[in-house]
């Protein structure tokens, strides 16, 4: 299933609070909002409840086999930006669909 893009209106104060929290957690505003919504909206899928939102070090991603280790279990993965994996960076699971996880590199601190 493809990601759905939406326009979202936020008042300035709320957006500033979200931006501050996202920066504090070393995340993009989009990733922060998606993570918070994923946590708030219940799902019946066990993988979604236990894995989405997990942060994984790049050293847990095996590009040769296209596998990622999350909580001791190996999954296939799809890197959101289609970049190469950097073993020194951290990645967050943003979606689980069966045994395929969509991951996104966490934003670096400035």
Helix axes 12-24, 29-40, angle to 10 degrees: 90
Check: pTM over 0.75? Answer yes or no. Answer: no
Which helix (H) or strand (E) covers residue 96, if one does? Answer: strand 90-97
8-30 residue pLDDT tens? 899 999 999 999 999 988 889 99
64-90 residue pLDDT tens? 898 999 988 899 998 877 678 889 999
The 10 Å Cβ neighbour count of residue 14 is 10
């Amino acid at each position: 299933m493809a990601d759905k893009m939406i326009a979202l209106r936020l008042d300035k104060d709320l957006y500033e609070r979200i931006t501050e929290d996202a920066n504090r957690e070393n995340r993009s505003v989009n990733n922060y909002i998606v993570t918070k919504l994923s946590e708030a909206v219940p799902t019946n899928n066990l993988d979604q409840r236990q894995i989405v939102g997990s942060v994984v070090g790049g050293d847990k991603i095996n590009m040769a086999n296209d596998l990622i280790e999350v909580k001791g279990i190996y999954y296939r993965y799809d890197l959101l930006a289609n970049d190469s994996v950097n073993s020194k960076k951290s990645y967050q699971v943003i979606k689980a669909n069966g045994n395929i996880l969509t991951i996104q590199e966490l934003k670096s601190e400035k």
